[in-house]
Structures are given as C-alpha cells and as structure tokens.
C-alpha cells in the first residue's frame, strides 16, 4: 500500500513536471524564453521543487540499493530519529541565515542532510559488523565503496567552501565547510572502526588490543571534533551571530569526548592494576581449579606460558579470568565479577595471615601477596602496622615500669612505618620468574628495599635502647628490693602503734593482708605478727650494718 502510494507520488510529480515544461514550451516556443518563463512563474517553480525533492529521494533509494541493500529495522529507526534532529537544526540555521535565504541555499542544506544520512547509515553498518556472525565479501565491497565515496564528497565540499570563503570572505559557506569537515572526521572514525573490525575478523584468536585501539581512536577523533566545533563557534560568534543550531551537536561531541577520555583513564588504571597487583596463573595452577571456564566470555581457559592473548589472572578472592576479559570489565566496575569484592581495596592483613590454612591450591601460590610491590601496600593500611608495633614493643616495658615506683616509662620512639612483609615461607614453590618478579630491578622495587633496610635499622636502634633501659632497671632493682623491705617494716611498726590510715592501706605482703582484714583477727595474731616484725628488724639491722 505504502509502496504503491509512493510510486503514485513519483508518477504524479513526473507528469506535473512534464506538463509544466511542455506548457512553457508551447507558450514561448523557444528554449531561452521558456526557461525564463519557468523560473518566473511561482507555480511552475513549486512543481519543479517537488520534482527535485522526489528525485533526491530516488537517488537516495538508488544509493541505498547499491550500498546497503535492505536496511535493518534499527537502522531505519536511527535514521528517522537523527533526521528529525537534523531537520530541526536546519530550520534553526535558516532563521540565522534568513538574509541569505535562496533556493541555492536550500539545495545546499538538502544535500548536506542527504549526505549526513549516509554517514549515519555507514556508521550503523560498521557497528553491525560486530553483531553478525557472517560478513560477506559483498558487505565489505559495499561499505568500502560507500566510505570512499563519502570521504571524497566531504573533501570536495570542504575544499569548495574553503575556496569560496577565501575568495569572497566569510559567508554561509563557512557553515557548510565546518559541517563537511565534521562529517569527514566522522567518516574517518567509521573507517578506523571498520579497519579494526576487519583485522579482528581475519584473526583466529580474539584480538585483545582492539578495544584499546578503538578507545584511542575515539579519543583522538573526539578531540578533533571538539576543536572543530569550538573554532566554528568562536568564528561564527565573531562574524555573524550565535550559532544556535550547532549547540546540540557540539554538546554531544563534548560529552562523547569526555566519555572517551574517561574510558581511556579507567582502562589505563585497570590495566595497571591487572599488571601490578594480580598474579598470572600458570598451567600447573590452572589444572588445580575444578572449573576453568572464564565466566565473562564463557570459554575454556587454557594457560600457555608466554602467550599474551590468553593470559589468565587471579584476583585476591581466588577467582580466575582471562586477562583481556577482566580488563574490559574493570573499565566499568572495580569489583570481582563473581563475588563482587572490590579490587581497589587490597585484602586485609588478617587474610594474609590466614592464607597458609586455605585449600591446597592456595598453597601452590605463595607469591600471591609478596608479588605486590611494597610501596603499593604501604599507604593502604598503615595504621594497622603502627598500632601493632606500639603495642608489641610498648606493652612489656610499660607494665614493668608501673610496678617500679620512681620510674616513669621512658618515651618510646614513634614507629611511623610498617615492618617489612615477610617473604613466603616456602621459596621452593616459586619459579625463577616469580622470584625475579619479587626482587625486581625497577625504581620502586629498589626504593622499597632501601625503605625496608631503614626500617630494620630503626627497629634495631629501638631494641638497643630498650635493652639499655632494662639493664638500668636490673641494676637498680637489687637496691630497690632493700628499700621496699625497709618500707614494709616501717609500716608494720606504724601499725603496731595503731595509726588507722596505715592499717587501712592495702598490704603488700601476704601476712599483712590478713592483719588488715579484720580487727578481731588482728588481736589474735598480734603475737605472731610481732614475732615477724622483730625478725624483720633484725634482718634489716644486719643488712644495713653489712652495707655500711
């Protein structure tokens, strides 16, 4: 029905044009006057405009047949959606350039819109390459032909606009020049994608660097696009008026540039994390896993040493994936796909301590933790180590000093560093490569090593200091013992003459605890304590005489 009606419209427009032209010739009889007559008559011009429109559509259909064949539903949908925006923007542009409004101008805009449509379609088609399992030779030749044609046309129009602007100064041609330049950038990006997809299709193995290439080409072309729009905006603002119609595409290109910049940053971070923080899985280790299907791509993981395309990485949560699959996931989410443990937070120190008790497959990989460079871990959880240090070193002496009257605990040097992480217990389990990795010869490894040595020397100094203090205390304690004994005897004496404050004092010796507990008992045991007191006095006198 629709088809029939469109054919009818085409037929009617052809007939109308024919009648208009024949009519003009019948009236004027000669070529030149009839042309003049045609262009002067509004009604015949209207018919001719309609005819031009119909012809444009027909040419579009022909190009579509040549380069695309059947359009897919989603392509049509995109086409209509984008055309509406483009038409709105064109109308806005008309309001800006109402002084230059002429049939020629309208023709130029129609042509621009026409070419834009094909750019969009080419973009969609290239995207479709990723979705379809079978890409035919016809597809390739069509898309290459289309892209080459569009490229040439864009270049031609840019050139034309440039020549026009140079010859006659800034005019509407400036707008067209910029529009075609941007279209040219678009077709360049489509072409890069096409080339990348084609290379990928030729390869037997998945090409893991494709994603990176796409990211970077997006970034560069996005940057060029943004630059073009900014220049266009400033130029237009200077010589004409504010180009309202260019705001939406400019905003879109800015946004996509920001997104691709963000993508590149995230992807770089993900790659860095992958390379630094997580160990590769070797074939022997892989054989210990019951399930060797990478859950991201649902394909079997086969570890081959030295083969980059199929590298397997293991996360701290003991889940394994293809490196390339993990990388693309980490661009979106910094979590383990299986258990959603955040990968940006390194495992807590307690987990490290537990590691030897984990299942046997774990023990095969003692390099898991130490493979992490030291300076990577230092900033993550420094408090744990500092607190631990203070408690371990500080606890013993502080109790010790508390029992010693007259001795204040000397201030301990603050340990604002962590002790060096212990190397794995079983070095036999490590290959030479792993050991090399642990040792390393890059700047940060060397820095970490020097840092460790400094820490050790500080720790040694601290223990020297403590040993010295301990020796001092030991020397003092023999003298101190005498003093305490004197003190208790005096207390006993005081108690004997019944001074209440002293009797209520907590006793140091076991026999005195009894005396102070009840008064009744005190009376009963007075004789006994008296005897002890006397013995003590004798002892004290003997000692003091020997000291003197």
Partner 1 sequence: MAGSALRRLMAEFKQLTQNPPEGIVAGPISEDNFFEWESLITGPEGTPFEDGVFVANLSFPNDYPLSPPSMKFVSEIFHPNIYPDGRVCISILHPPGDDPTGYESSSERWSPVQSIEKILISVVSMLAEPNDESPANVDAAKMYREDRSKFNDIARKSVRKSLGL
The least distance separating partner 1 from the CB of residue 136, rounded to whole angstroms, comes to 11
Stretch that binds partner 1, among 99-107, 293-301, 355-363, 456-464 (CB under 8 A): 293-301
Distance CA 294, CA 309 (A): 14
Cα–chain center distance at 238: 40
CB 320 within 8 A of CB 281: yes
- CB-nearer residue toward partner 1: 226 or 295: 295
CB 537 within 8 A of CB 489: yes
Under rule CB under 8 A, residue 494 binds partner 1? no
- CB-nearer residue toward partner 1: 141 or 375: 141
Q: Mask of contacts with partner 1, 68-107, x by CB under 8 A? A: ----x-----------------------------------
Strands 312-314 and 299-300: unpaired
The least distance separating partner 1 from the CB of residue 418, rounded to whole angstroms, comes to 32
Under rule CB under 8 A, residue 249 binds partner 1? no
- CB-nearer residue toward partner 1: 44 or 331: 331
Which 120-159 positions form the footprint of partner 1 (CB under 8 A)? Answer: 127-128, 130-134
The least distance separating partner 1 from the CB of residue 257, rounded to whole angstroms, comes to 19
CB neighbour burial string for 302-331, b if at least 16 within 10 angstroms, e if fewer = ebeeeeeebbbbbbbebbbbbbbbbbebbb
Under rule CB under 8 A, residue 296 binds partner 1? yes
- Of 226, 295, 317, 532, which lies in the binding site for partner 1, with binding defined by CB under 8 A? 295
The least distance separating partner 1 from the CB of residue 129, rounded to whole angstroms, comes to 8
Under rule CB under 8 A, residue 57 binds partner 1? no
- Which token pair is 102? 């002429």
Under rule CB under 8 A, residue 203 binds partner 1? yes
Under rule CB under 8 A, residue 297 binds partner 1? yes
**For residue 93, how many other CB atoms are within 10 A of its CB?**
20
* Helix segments in 135-245, DSSP class H: 137-168, 172-202, 210-239
The least distance separating partner 1 from the CB of residue 329, rounded to whole angstroms, comes to 6
Which 204-233 positions form the footprint of partner 1 (CB under 8 A)? Answer: 204-207
Residues near 122 by beta carbon (within 8 Å), at least 6 away in sequence? 143, 146, 147, 150, 187, 190
> Phi/psi of residue 293, each to 5°?
-95, 125
- Of 22, 66, 201, 239, which lies in the binding site for partner 1, with binding defined by CB under 8 A? 201
Which 330-349 positions form the footprint of partner 1 (CB under 8 A)? Answer: 332-333, 335, 337-338, 340
The least distance separating partner 1 from the CB of residue 221, rounded to whole angstroms, comes to 18
> Phi/psi of residue 102, each to 5°?
-160, 165
Query: What angle do the packed helices 73-96 and 247-277 form, to 10 degrees?
Result: 130
CB neighbour burial string for 250-282, b if at least 16 within 10 angstroms, e if fewer = beebeeebeebeebbebbeebbebbeebbbbbb
Task: Encode 504-519 in three state secondary structure.
Answer: HCCCCCHHHHHHHHCH
Q: Mask of contacts with partner 1, 299-328, x by CB under 8 A? A: x-------------------------x--x
Which residues sit at the interface with partner 1, rule CB under 8 A?
Answer: 72, 127-128, 130-134, 197, 200-201, 203-207, 295-299, 325, 328-329, 332-333, 335, 337-338, 340
């Amino acid at each position: 029905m629709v088809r029939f009606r469109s054919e009818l419209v085409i037929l009617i427009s052809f007939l109308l044009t024919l009648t208009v032209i024949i009519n003009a010739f019948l009236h004027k009889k000669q070529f030149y006057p009839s042309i003049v007559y045609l262009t002067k008559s509004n009604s015949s011009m209207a018919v001719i405009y309609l005819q031009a429109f119909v012809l444009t559509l027909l040419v579009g259909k022909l190009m579509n047949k040549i380069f695309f064949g059947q359009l897919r539903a989603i392509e049509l949908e995109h086409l209509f959606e984008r055309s509406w925006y483009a038409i709105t923007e064109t109308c806005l542009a008309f309001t800006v350039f109402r002084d230059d409004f002429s049939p020629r101008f309208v023709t130029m805009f129609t042509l621009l819109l026409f070419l834009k449509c094909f750019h969009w379609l080419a973009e969609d088609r290239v995207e479709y390459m990723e979705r379809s399992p079978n890409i035919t030779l016809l597809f390739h030749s069509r898309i290459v032909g289309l892209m080459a044609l569009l490229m040439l046309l864009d270049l031609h129009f840019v050139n034309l606009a440039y020549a026009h602007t140079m010859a006659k100064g800034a005019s509407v041609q400036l707008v067209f020049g910029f529009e075609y330049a941007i279209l040219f950038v678009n077709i360049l990006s489509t072409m890069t994608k096409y080339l990348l997809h084609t290379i990928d299709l030729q390869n037997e193995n998945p090409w893991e660097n494709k994603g990176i290439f796409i990211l970077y080409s997006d970034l560069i072309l996005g940057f060029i696009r943004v630059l073009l729009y900014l220049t266009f905006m400033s130029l237009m603002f200077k010589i004409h008026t504010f180009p309202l119609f260019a705001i939406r595409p400019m905003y879109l290109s800015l946004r996509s540039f920001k997104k691709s910049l963000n993508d590149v940053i995230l992807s770089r971070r993900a790659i860095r994390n992958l390379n630094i923080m997580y160990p590769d899985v070797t074939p022997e280790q892989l054989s210990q896993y019951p399930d060797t299907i990478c859950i991201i791509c649902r394909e079997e993981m086969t570890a081959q040493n030295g083969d980059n395309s199929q590298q397997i990485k293991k996360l701290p949560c003991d889940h394994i994936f293809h490196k390339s699959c993990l990388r693309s996931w980490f661009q979106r989410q910094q979590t383990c796909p299986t258990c959603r443990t955040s990968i940006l937070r390194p495992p807590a120190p307690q987990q490290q301590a537990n590691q030897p008790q984990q299942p046997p497959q774990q023990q095969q990989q003692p390099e898991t933790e130490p493979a992490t460079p030291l300076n990577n871990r230092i900033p993550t959880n420094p408090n744990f180590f500092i607190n631990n240090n203070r408690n371990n070193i500080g606890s013993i002496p502080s109790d010790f000093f508390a029992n010693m009257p007259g001795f204040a605990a000397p201030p301990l040097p603050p340990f604002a560093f962590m002790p060096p992480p212990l190397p794995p217990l079983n070095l036999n389990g490590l290959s030479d490569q792993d050991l090399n990795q642990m040792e390393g010869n890059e700047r940060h490894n060397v820095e970490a090593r020097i840092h460790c040595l400094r820490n050790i020397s500080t720790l040694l100094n601290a223990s020297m200091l403590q040993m010295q203090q301990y020796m001092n205390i030991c020397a003092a304690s023999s003298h101190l013992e005498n003093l305490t004994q004197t003190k208790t005897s005096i207390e006993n004496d005081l108690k004997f003459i019944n001074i209440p404050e002293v009797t209520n004092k907590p006793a140091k010796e076991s026999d005195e605890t009894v005396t102070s507990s009840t008064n009744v008992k005190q009376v009963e045991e007075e004789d006994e304590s008296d005897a002890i007191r006397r013995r003590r006095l004798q002892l004290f006198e003997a000692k003091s005489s020997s000291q003197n």
